[in-house]
A = this chain, B = another copy of it.
Amino acid sequence: MTPLARFDHYRSRIGRFNPGLNAFLHLRLAEAAVEAAEADARAAAGSALSPVDGWCIAVKANIAVAGLPHHAGIGAYRGDIAGEDAEVVRRLRSAGAVILGTVNMHEGALGATTDNAVFGRTANPWSLEHTPGGSSGGSAAAVAAGLCDGALGSDTMGSVRIPSAYCGVQGHKPSPGRVPDAGVLALSPTLDHVGPHARSVAGLRDMMSALAAAPMASPPAGLAGLRVGVWRAAGQIELTPEVERGLQDACAALRSAGVLLGEAEPPAYAYGRSRRAGLLICEVEAGRIHAQRLGEDPAGFSDSFRRLLAWGAARPAAELEAAYAHVDAVRAAAPAAFADCDLVLAPTAPQQAFRFTDPAPANQADFTAWADFAALPATAICTGVSASTGLPLGVQLIGRRGEDGAVLSAALAAEALFGRPPAPPSYT
């Protein structure tokens, strides 16, 4: 498709599908149409700026897009209009991408349902009664429903990868330092990572090249001979039967393709302790970031969000210090995980998307937070759809710090094995 045809395609789908999904909150279609026409002219002249020139992108609402509200899903900020683009948005524009607008998210990025008291609930394109996951639920839902080519999310304990898994799209959590965070209304500066969602790993790689302002090295990774450590967390994290079966099927397929499977376990990563440490760091850092608005406009925060921030702020300082020390210890120990393998493979989440009416599982981020703590790149990919639930299944590949290119290359080969993510039935 030419850039203009592509833009018209998404504009039409947004009009048709967004009202039922509530993924996009704020659109800039008039400006985007002009930008798409410019991209079209570049394409016609054979002078495209990058592989994502003319791509139509959705941006999570905690990332500034000049002229659009910048609120991170928090009511208190809903009147804030971004004066300039976040650096990641600027980089995507420099690569020729067209920004369609901003998408819904869990309030303040601290939560995993994207059921937002102020901005409404975003539905999962695979089932309107199910959550798209969070906190980047709007980003993953928009990509899954085919309302854009790709989206920006942010991942603090799993917020790019979990909604990617629940909605059946590909998502990448970069190594820290690869993608700048200027212009992001943060949850936790210690753990936040901006990252892309797309319907193909090639799309992730091309977006990452623009976001990192450097081509993602991608040696052609064959799967044969690749040493992959499988992290099952047996006896520690309970997988649903569907996720367990999905992981077994994925392992069988990889083994047939010549992958050498072993076992892996994140060093120093005690599950309960890690979960509590990550949450406390998020609550306390977010409490500091939002302190002024909380004072000025407490009603602009939901009761539950406000309670989390107040709870964290009041914990003993020694507990916060121990949380930071735990993250440091997990990070320092991480290289040992790769002593006997090139990559670690794990479920992205212990379950598939759950119903809005069900309680959010407490262990949702147990498989994802390790990469955030340990500063590792991780790519979540869809491995298919579960026959029993009709919902997507996913795994993640986790690599050594800084080796985003190697992880994406392996994910590209794995995607060739599992197939591209299928479109949700109502959004083909």
Contact = CB atoms under 8 A, between A and B. Distances in A.
Of the candidates A284, A285, A287, A321, the one having the most CB atoms from chain B within 10 angstroms of its own CB is A321
Contact of A321 (B284, B318, B325): B284
B313 A316 contact: yes
A310 to B, nearest CB: 9
A44 interface: no
A318 B314 CA distance: 7
Interface residues of A, number: 18
Contacts of A291: 318
Interface in A306-326: 312-322, 325
Nearest to A286: B321
A243 interface: no
A3 B315 CA distance: 56
A245 interface: no
Nearest to A309: B318
A280 interface: yes
Interface in A275-289: 280, 284-285, 287-288
Contacts of A322: 288
Contacts of A321: 284-285, 287-288, 313, 320
Contact of A314 (B285, B288, B312, B317): B317
A317 B312 contact: yes
Contacts of A312: 317-318
B318 A316 contact: no
Contact of A280 (B285, B315, B317): B317
Nearest to A313: B318
Contacts of A285: 321
A295 to B, nearest CB: 13
A190 to B, nearest CB: 10
A157 to B, nearest CB: 18
Contacts of A313: 316-318, 321
Nearest to A315: B317
Contact of A284 (B284, B315, B318): B318
A276 to B, nearest CB: 12
A141 B312 CA distance: 45
Of the candidates A280, A287, A315, A318, the one having the most CB atoms from chain B within 10 angstroms of its own CB is A318
A300 B280 CA distance: 32
Of the candidates A317, A318, A319, the one having the most CB atoms from chain B within 10 angstroms of its own CB is A317
A87 to B, nearest CB: 17
A288 to B, nearest CB: 5
A316 B312 CA distance: 9
Contacts of A319: 317
Nearest to A311: B317
Contact of A288 (B280, B284, B325): B325
Interface string A313-347: 11111111110010000000000000000000000
A287 B287 CA distance: 24
A316 to B, nearest CB: 5
Contacts of A315: 316-317
A287 B320 contact: no
A320 B319 CA distance: 10
A318 B294 CA distance: 14
A285 B317 CA distance: 10
A396 B136 CA distance: 51
14 contacts: A284-B318, A284-B320, A284-B321, A285-B321, A287-B321, A291-B318, A313-B318, A313-B321, A314-B317, A314-B318, A315-B316, A316-B317, A317-B320, A320-B321
Given A284-B320, A288-B325, A317-B317, 10 more contacts: A280-B317, A288-B318, A291-B318, A313-B316, A313-B318, A313-B321, A314-B316, A314-B318, A316-B316, A316-B317
The 9 A-B pairs with the shortest beta carbon distances in the complex, nearest first, are A313-B318, A317-B320, A315-B317, A284-B321, A284-B317, A288-B321, A314-B316, A320-B320, A317-B317
